[in-house]
Structure 1
Amino acid sequence: MRDVAAQLGRWIEEGREVAVATVVGVSGSAPRGPGAALAVDGAGAALGSVSGGCVEGAVYELCTQALADGRPVVQRFGYSDDDAFAVGLTCGGTVEVLVTPVGAAAPARPVLAAALAAFAEGASAALVRVVRGPDELLGGALLVHADDAYEGTLGGSPQWDRIARNEALDMLALGRTGTVDVALDGALCPGGVTLFVECRVPPPRMIVFGAVDFAEALVRAGSFLGFHVTVCDARPVFATRERFPEADEVVVDWPHRYLRQTRTDARTVLCVLTHDAKFDVPLLTEALRMPLAYVGAMGSRRTHADRLRRLREVGLTERELARLRSPIGLDLGGRTPQETALSIAAEIVATRHGGSGLPLTGSSVPLHREGDAPDGKSTEPSARVRRPAPMHSHRMTGRR
């Protein structure tokens, strides 16, 4: 619901009764990822999308039905020769949608309003709902904040709220949205209760070291991909807001010193464009020992070989050096700053999703891998996440 949070929040504030359809699972070439939402109010107005147009009509009807009978429903839309054109999902994938009615007196309404406000403000928070489980848990909602506090309830035993909070905190730490199957004792339990955890976290960081002409183009590419982009250089004459107006931050500092002090996480990408040993070696010595998503460094193959020699001399292991992407970027054949930025961005995307970087023409690899989110939001499952088994369309009665 992150993409419709502001407008849907206003609908709730205005007192409208709404039904919210949320994508809770995808496989194959599905057009939208988990968390994509379509909302319908009592007057029939619609907001958002769950499929980019493929199954909107069918989901709209589910929402109006849920508004009429007040019952949540889970529906799976898949491709077959018989029904592909009936619902429009001709891309070959499947989409599983949770439809939740939110009436004026619904217990989950205040929690949903709080979640929408948190999502709209960009706060770190996770909304937990039940996809499958006993009747007393259906229609509940739990909002979990990054400081461990939570509000609302799934219903049933209070232990379910504690279990849901713990699962949400795990996924919030990873910035991932998806489903998890659990039992009352907190163990992973396919066939138990399936929770859908929708997370909103700040955008991942891209830190570009080196205020060079290639950095200007890379800043634009990083912003386009949704990164919070920082440019850092020790030379104040080059690291200026005038040269990098599209950067979120421009920092004048020694790169290795800044990296030690700034916030990073497992989603952070570093692009080292300085190709100067006095900057590169101390910076990469720090970076290659940190749990980062991507570390790339610009330079010729000769520069890279000399850089590796220097890094070995300061004690980096072969395993640590293997994490370095250098020369940075994919081989696209380009030479301009814009083309180079594109090749770097392409390698970052391929690294994030496990792509090969090879042409899709003539390839038999799936267009969307398990865990991919077509709208750019990461949904890769952690070790604790289990995808729900395929299911048939059904009303949520708690029966299996």
Structure 2
Amino acid sequence: MEYIHDILEVITIPSASDVLATIIHVEGSAYQKEGTSMLIREDGRQIGVLSGGCLENDLVERAKLLREGQSQCIKYDMKSEDDLSWGQGAGCNGVVHVLLECIDDRFRKHLRTLKDFLDRGISVVIIKKFTAKFSVSDYLFYVDDTNMFGEWNVSIPKNIPDLKNHKSGLVYVEELSSFCYFHCFQPKPRLIIFGAGRDAACLASFAAKTGFSVTVCDWRAALCNKENFPDADQLIVGSLRETVMKLQFTSRDFVVILTHQFQRDQELLQLLIEKDLRYIGVMGSKQRTSRLLNFTELPPQISTPVGLSIGAEGPEEIAISILAELIHLKKKPLKGRVPLL
């Protein structure tokens, strides 16, 4: 799971010695992948996790030694199965490289700008250039050729735009004669739920806890409210047609239809079928959904019956099966990966 959104929510409240820990390179297998970040606050509190508990205590102690503006890379060998190794016998079969950065005022300001772009649904690439001793010498947040910010004092690599679809990690850049770390920060994926019943409430709660921005839409104000959906980012009450017209859909959006009413499901699908959406999940069998659309073959973006087939029963299990499918799809890139520098 990507914790940067949780980190950016609290980074606006200054702490004298906030330290950002980021996995920049993994050899073999590990609990988390490259690009995962954790914030270590002055009092030792942590937002996010980098491991199953193997590394965090050591990172907190190392963070106390960093001074403002300093950075340090630490290598953890998790391969050994004995209790003297990192991982205390976990046998993860991987080597994890973690970057620690003390957040100064300038870096905090740039992180706030990053949050502004992500909140507007705009992805941002980060590039960090390393010295021979693997401390950060320069960093650049790249949105496009006219929107860049950071502390970057060397030439800008030519194919930064391509990195938005590439795996995060460490690479040697010939034109800079140094190692650089690349990662693309993505906006929270948006889950739009039509219907405000019990199963929708469970799905909204679970989805919000796993990194989705949740919007709930329903024609019943008595159901579609903060009391029933405390974790939702947006609640829209109104007719289905009015609601669809209000929403600005994107190709990253996930939609789940849980109205449990044939006519309303039919109206919704007719309104949504031409939209460029990542996913449309429909409750009910394929035969029912085919009847809703009067289609013999369903479009590829429609998943029905919604969720993974795990024999789910009841609102909670059904919500888990749907969320499992959403997470699985979310991990797949929108486009094919491109060669790195």
TM-score (norm 2): 0.72
| Post-superposition offset of 1:271 | 0.8
2:217 alignment counterpart: 232
Alpha-carbon shift at residue 260 of structure 1 (Å):
5.0
Give the match's secondary structure for 1:321.
Answer: coil
Provide the residue aligned with 1:349 in structure 2.
327
Q: Is the contact between residue 181 and residue 385 of structure 1 (CA under 8 Å) also seen in structure 2?
A: no
Out of 10, 16, 24, the position equivalent to 2:14 is 10
Give the equivalent residue in structure 1 for 2:96: 95
Aligned partners of 2:180, 2:315: CA distance in 1, in Å?
47
Whether 2:338 is the aligned partner of 1:384: answer yes
Given that residues 244 and 250 in structure 1 are in contact (C-alpha distance below 8 angstroms), is that contact kept between their aligned partners in structure 2? no
Structure 2 CA distance for partners of 1:80 and 1:248, relative to 1, 3 Å: closer
CA deviations on 1:335-394 (whole Å, 9 max, x unpaired) are 32333222222322233347xxxxxxxxxxxxxxxxxxxxxxxx99962375x9xxxxxx
Cross-structure match for 2:169: 179
CA deviation string 1:169-200 (max 9, x = no partner): x36xxxx98237585779xxxx9753333626
By relative contact order (CA 8 Å, sep 6+), the higher-ranking structure is: 1
Q: How many Å separate the matches in 2 of 1:83 and 1:71? A: 33
Distance 1:179 1:143 in 2: 15
Percent identical pairs in the alignment equals: 21
| Structure with greater proportional helix content | 1
Aligned residue number for residue 86 of structure 1: 85
2:110 to 115, 123, 134: 115
One of 256, 268, 278 as aligned partner of 1:293: 278
Q: Which of 310, 316, 324 is the matching residue for 1:332? A: 310
Aligned 8 A contact 1:123 1:200 in 2: no
Could you tell me how far 1:163 is from its partner in structure 2? 5.5
Give the secondary-structure state (helix, strand or coil) at the position aligned to 1:140.
Answer: strand
Structure 2 unaligned segments of length 5 or more: list them: none
CA distance in 2, matches of 1:242, 1:40: 31
Distance 1:291 1:224, change over 3 A: same
**Alignment TM-score, normalising by the size of structure 1:** 0.63
In 1, the alpha carbon distance for the partners of 2:20 and 2:220 equals 50
Q: Which runs of 5+ in 1 are unaligned?
A: 103-108, 313-317, 355-378, 389-400
Describe the shift of the 1:194–1:120 C-alpha distance in structure 2 as closer, same or farther (beyond 3 A).
closer
Q: Which residue of 1 aligns with 2:255?
A: 270
Structure 1 pair 243–147 and aligned structure 2 pair: CA distance change class (3 A):
farther
Count the aligned residue pairs.
328
| Greater fraction strand | 2
Q: Where does residue 149 of structure 1 map in the other structure?
A: 147
- Distance in 2 between the 1:250 and 1:167 partners? 35
User: For the residues of structure 1 that align with 2:133 and 2:251, how far apart are their CA atoms?
Assistant: 38
1:293 Cα shift? 2.9
Residues 79 and 91 of structure 2 are in contact (CA less than 8 Å); yes or no, is this contact kept in structure 1?
no
For residues 20 and 95 of structure 2, the distance between their equivalents in structure 1, rounded to whole angstroms, comes to 19
Deviation at residue 134 of structure 1 after TM alignment: 7.2
Q: CA–CA distance in 2 between the matches of 1:301 and 1:123?
A: 36
Counterpart of 1:25 in structure 2 is: 25
**Deviations 1:18-61 (CA, angstroms, capped at 9, x unpaired):** 764321234524157623235487xxx64535434312355456
Closer, same or farther: CA 275–322 of 1 in aligned 2, 3 Å: farther
Structure 1 127/114 Cα, relative in aligned 2: closer, same or farther at 3 Å?
A: farther
Which protein is bigger by CA-based radius of gyration? 1
Mapped contact 2:77–2:85 kept (Cα < 8 A): no
Partners in 2 of 1:137 and 1:74 — Cα distance? 7
* Superposed displacement of residue 71, structure 1: 7.1
Q: Give the Cα separation in 2 of the matches to 1:22 and 1:240.
A: 38
Q: Conserved in 1, the CA contact under 8 Å of 2:129 and 2:137? A: no
RMSD value, Cα: 4.4
Are 2:76 and 1:56 equivalent residues in the alignment? Answer: no
Whether the 8 Å contact between 1:35 and 1:177 is mirrored in structure 2 is: no
Further displaced range: 85-94 or 125-134: 125-134
